């Protein structure tokens, strides 16, 4: 076992950061590290928190983290901010967070921006989760604006998915697509002291009842005002309740197995792409008269793929 692996398993903060950086940079030692850490990644509770921009996900994540800390649980947070490109969100977010939970040794926060992460961000985020889990964090939270495919993939890698909405989302409930309905284990109506909250609640409830009436786990809808710490304790309890439900129904193992299968496939597909990008064939010239389709065919033939 490598020294870095050892140090991460001991929970050494700087080594955890180093390990994550190795993953982000696609360093050579990253895959070996992950392989060594793997047997120790299975204990953490994985929570996905998603919702539209401005729903207050960061604040909610902070308050939830503080609450888990009170229960003696350590927390790792992976914040994926696809809007950072416009707002510098990933950086600003960290600064705001620092003041509240950054100095707590039981919490580790890592922001990942979508920008510049060419390919494989969802795999990297999940692997970062594995590092945090192996370092001994009881809870791993993936927080993301669930607007893109990458973000959805990350959220789906969680055991418990919390979808955060605000009363203003109300207009569009009718149009809300089943995709979101189906991934939510818990709905949170944040900023529920705002006008329209009750109407929103009734609407959402009736839509859910029609769509999900045959589900074994019916997603509860919780009201919170995260900035005031209202409803956070109840959310904590619902998350733990959902975890118990998963354990009892054997769904936790099932989800884990599916997750590992997806991961296996993702590793293989990334390797395939790397194989091509590193091959001499990727270094082709293209004349302005040549068609990309013809060229691609030629190269694929040369790759000589055999089942």
Out of 39, 72, 210, 248, the only residue in the binding site for a second copy (CB under 8 A) is 39
Binding-site member from 7, 100, 147, 251 for a second copy (CB under 8 A): 147
Where are any strands of DSSP class E within 7-56?
45-51
Q: x/- binding map, residues 261-290, to a second copy, per CB under 8 A?
A: x-xxx-xxx-xxx-xxxxxxxx-x-x-x-x
**Environment class of 5 (CB within 10 Å of its CB; exposed 0-12, middle 13-18, buried 19+):** buried
Between CA 25 and CA 50 the distance in angstroms is 26
Complex with a second copy: residue 193 or 271, whichever CB lies closer: 271
Q: How far is the CB of 96 from a second copy (least distance, A)?
A: 13
31 binds a second copy (CB under 8 A): yes
Minimum CB–partner distance for residue 105 and a second copy (Å): 28
Mask: binding to a second copy, 156-185, rule CB under 8 A, as x and -? -------------x--x-xxxx-xx-----
250: left (phi over 0), alpha (psi -120 to 50) or beta: left
Q: Quick one: 228 or 271, whose CB is closer to a second copy?
A: 271
| By CB under 8 A, residue 51 contacts a second copy | yes
CA separation (Å) from 301 to 206, 269, 273, 294, 296? Answer: 55, 19, 16, 11, 9
- Calculate the CA 108 to chain-centre distance: 15
Helix (H) or strand (E) holding 237: helix 232-248
Residues in contact with a second copy, counted by CB under 8 A, come to a total of: 80
Using CB atoms within 10 A of its CB, is residue 199 exposed (0-12), middle (13-18) or buried (19+)? exposed
Minimum CB separation of residue 69 from a second copy in Å reads 29
Angle, alpha carbons 55-23-2 (nearest 5°)? 135
Q: Which stretch binds a second copy (CB under 8 A): 113-121, 135-143, 208-216, 231-239?
A: 113-121
List the x/- string, 78-107, binding to a second copy by CB under 8 A: ----xxxxxxx--xx---------------
Residue of 15, 65, 128, 150 that binds a second copy (CB under 8 A): 150
Q: Which residues contact 65 (CB under 8 A, 6 or more apart)?
A: 75, 77, 101, 107, 139, 141
In this chain, which stretch among 18-26, 98-106, 143-151, 202-210 interacts with a second copy, using CB under 8 A? 143-151
């Amino acid at each position: 076992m490598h020294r870095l692996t050892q140090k991460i398993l001991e929970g050494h903060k700087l080594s955890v950061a180093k390990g994550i950086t190795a993953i982000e940079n696609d360093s050579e030692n990253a895959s070996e590290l992950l392989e060594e850490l793997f047997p120790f990644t299975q204990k953490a509770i994985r929570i996905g928190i998603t919702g539209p921009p401005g729903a207050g996900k960061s604040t909610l994540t902070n308050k939830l983290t503080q609450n888990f800390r009170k229960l003696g649980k350590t927390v790792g947070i992976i914040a994926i901010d696809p809007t950072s490109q416009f707002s510098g969100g990933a950086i600003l977010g960290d600064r705001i967070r620092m003041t509240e939970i950054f100095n707590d040794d039981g919490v580790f926060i890592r922001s990942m921006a979508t920008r510049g992460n060419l390919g494989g961000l969802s795999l990297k985020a999940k692997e970062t989760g594995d590092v945090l889990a192996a370092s001994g964090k009881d809870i791993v939270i993936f927080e993301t604006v669930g607007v893109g495919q990458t973000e959805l993939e990350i959220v789906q890698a969680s055991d418990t998915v919390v979808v955060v909405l605000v009363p203003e989302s109300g207009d569009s409930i009718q149009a809300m697509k089943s995709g979101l309905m189906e991934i939510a284990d818990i709905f949170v109506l944040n900023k529920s002291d705002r006008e329209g909250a009750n109407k929103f609640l009734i609407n959402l409830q009736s839509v859910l009842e029609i769509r999900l009436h045959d589900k074994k786990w019916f997603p509860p809808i919780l009201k919170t005002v995260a900035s005031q710490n209202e409803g956070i304790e109840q959310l904590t309890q619902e998350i733990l309740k959902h975890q118990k439900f998963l354990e009892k129904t054997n769904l936790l193992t099932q989800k884990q197995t599916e997750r590992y299968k997806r991961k296996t496939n993702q590793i293989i597909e990334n390797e395939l792409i790397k194989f091509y990008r590193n091959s001499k064939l990727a270094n082709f010239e293209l004349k302005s008269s040549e068609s990309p389709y013809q060229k691609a065919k030629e190269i694929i033939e040369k790759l000589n793929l055999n089942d």
